[in-house]
C-alpha cells in the first residue's frame, strides 16, 4: 500500500508545470526501537524541555527557535516567522539545468524520494518531462526546501516515475585524493586473474536478499527469548454486570477468536 505523501507541490520545466507529490523511498520503521524505562517501576520515561534558568518545564506553545547573537542573548523566531520566509522552492521544483546521467558521483547522492503526479490532469506533462530525460540520458538539477532547509536535488527518471535525490553540497564532500594518495597504484599482474576467477564464482544478479542486518536479527532473537522467559501476567477478574455475569473484555475476546480460528482449522483438517 502506498504511503501518504509528505510533500506536495509542482514540477516545473520552463512553461511546463504539473502537480506532484513526493514520498521518501527508504524507511527505517521496521528497525527495532527501544523505549527508555524506569527500571524500578517499568514505566516509560517522558522527556520534556526545561528552562535552563528557572528549572521549570516549558509548555509546547511557549517553545520557539532562537538564534544566538551573544552570550545568553537570542533573536527569537516563531514557527510563523519561519513559515513566512517563503522561498519559491518550498512548493515548486523548477528544473534549472541538466547533466549527463552518469556524471554525478555517488558520494553526492544523499537520500532518495519517489516523485509522481498528484492528479490525472498532470500525468501528460509529467510523462513528457520524464521521457525526454530518458531519451537524452540526462538528469535534472534543481532545488527544494526539505525540513526548512533548501537542498540541491537531482531528478532521475526511473520506470514510470522519477526518483528525486537530495544532494550533498560540495563543501560537505571530502576529496578522495587526500585519503587514497598513499595507496600503491599497481597490483601484481599475476594475482589479478586469480582474483577475477574468485569474483566470477561469487557474482550473481543483485537482490536485496544479499544484504541483511545481523544486529537487527540478533535483537529480534534476544527479544523473542526474553518474551518466552517472562512469566505471564495474572489475568484480572472481570467485573460482574447487574445480571451477575462477568463483563466481556478485549483480552477474553482475543482468546475466544484465537480458539475459534484454531477449532476451524482442526475442523478443516478433519474433513
Tens digits of per-residue pLDDT, 168-219? 988 899 988 888 888 887 888 888 888 888 889 889 998 877 777 677 677 7
pLDDT confidence band for 251 (50 / 70 / 90): very low
Residue 97, pLDDT > 90, answer: yes
What span, in angstroms and rounded, lies between the C-alpha atoms of 62 and 239? 44
pLDDT confidence band for 12 (50 / 70 / 90): very high
Please report the pLDDT score of residue 103 as a whole number: 93
What span, in angstroms and rounded, lies between the C-alpha atoms of 139 and 109? 13
The answer to whether the CB of 82 falls within 8 A of the CB of 66 is no
- Count CA within 13 A, CB hemisphere, residue 66: 10
Please report the pLDDT score of residue 250 as a whole number: 41
Please report the pLDDT score of residue 182 as a whole number: 85
Query: To which residue does cell 544478479 refer?
Result: 205
pLDDT tens, position by position, 113-165: 999 999 888 899 999 999 999 999 999 999 988 776 788 999 999 999 999 99
Residue with the bigger pLDDT between 182 and 249: it is 182
Q: What is the dihedral of CA 223, 226, 227, 229, to 10 degrees?
A: 170
Q: Which residues of 173-212 are buried (b: 16+ CB within 10 A; e: fewer)?
A: eeeeeeeeeeeeeeeeeeeeeeeeeeeeeeeeeeeeeeee
134 by Cβ neighbours in 10 Å (0-12 / 13-18 / 19+) ranks as middle
Return the closest-CA partner of residue 96 out of 139, 160, 67, 158. Answer: 139
Residue 89, pLDDT > 60, answer: no
Residue with the bigger pLDDT between 265 and 170: it is 170
Please report the pLDDT score of residue 249 as a whole number: 41
Beta-carbon count within 10 A of 12 CB: 19
Please report the pLDDT score of residue 264 as a whole number: 57
Residue 240, pLDDT > 90, answer: no
pTM for this predicted structure: 0.62
Query: To which residue does cell 547533466 refer?
Result: 99
**CA distances (Å), origin 125, targets 8, 12, 19, 20, 122:** 16, 9, 9, 11, 6
pLDDT confidence band for 262 (50 / 70 / 90): low
Beta-carbon count within 10 A of 24 CB: 14
Residue with the bigger pLDDT between 96 and 27: it is 96
Amino acid at each position: 500500500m502506498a504511503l501518504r505523501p509528505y510533500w506536495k507541490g509542482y514540477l516545473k520545466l520552463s512553461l511546463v508545470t504539473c502537480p506532484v507529490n513526493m514520498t521518501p523511498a527508504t524507511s527505517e520503521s521496521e528497525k527495532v526501537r527501544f523505549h527508555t524505562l524506569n527500571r524500578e517501576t517499568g514505566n516509560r520515561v517522558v522527556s520534556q524541555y526545561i528552562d535552563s534558568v528557572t528549572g521549570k518545564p516549558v509548555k509546547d506553545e511557549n517553545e520557539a527557535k532562537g538564534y544566538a547573537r551573544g552570550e545568553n542573548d537570542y533573536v527569537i523566531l516563531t514557527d510563523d516567522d519561519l513559515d513566512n520566509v517563503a522561498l519559491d522552492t518550498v512548493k515548486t521544483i523548477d528544473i534549472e539545468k541538466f547533466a549527463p546521467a552518469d556524471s554525478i558521483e555517488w558520494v553526492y547522492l544523499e537520500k532518495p524520494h519517489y516523485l509522481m503526479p498528484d492528479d490525472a490532469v498532470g500525468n501528460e506533462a509529467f510523462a513528457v518531462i520524464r521521457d525526454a530525460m530518458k531519451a537524452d540520458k540526462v538528469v535534472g538539477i534543481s532545488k527544494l526546501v526539505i525540513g526548512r532547509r533548501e537542498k540541491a536535488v537531482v531528478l532521475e527518471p526511473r520506470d514510470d516515475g522519477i526518483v528525486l535525490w537530495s544532494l550533498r553540497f560540495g563543501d560537505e564532500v571530502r576529496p578522495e585524493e587526500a585519503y587514497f594518495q598513499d595507496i600503491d597504484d599497481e597490483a601484481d599482474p599475476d594475482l589479478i586473474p586469480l582474483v577475477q576467477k574468485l569474483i566470477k564464482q561469487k557474482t550473481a544478479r543483485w537482490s536485496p536478499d544479499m544484504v541483511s542486518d545481523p544486529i537487527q536479527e540478533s535483537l529480534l532473537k534476544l527479544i523473542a527469548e526474553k518474551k518466552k522467559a517472562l512469566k505471564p501476567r495474572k489475568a484480572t477478574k472481570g467485573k460482574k454486570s447487574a445480571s451477575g455475569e462477568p463483563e466481556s473484555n478485549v483480552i477474553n475476546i482475543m482468546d475466544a477468536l484465537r480458539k475459534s480460528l484454531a477449532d476451524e482449522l482442526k475442523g478443516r483438517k478433519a474433513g
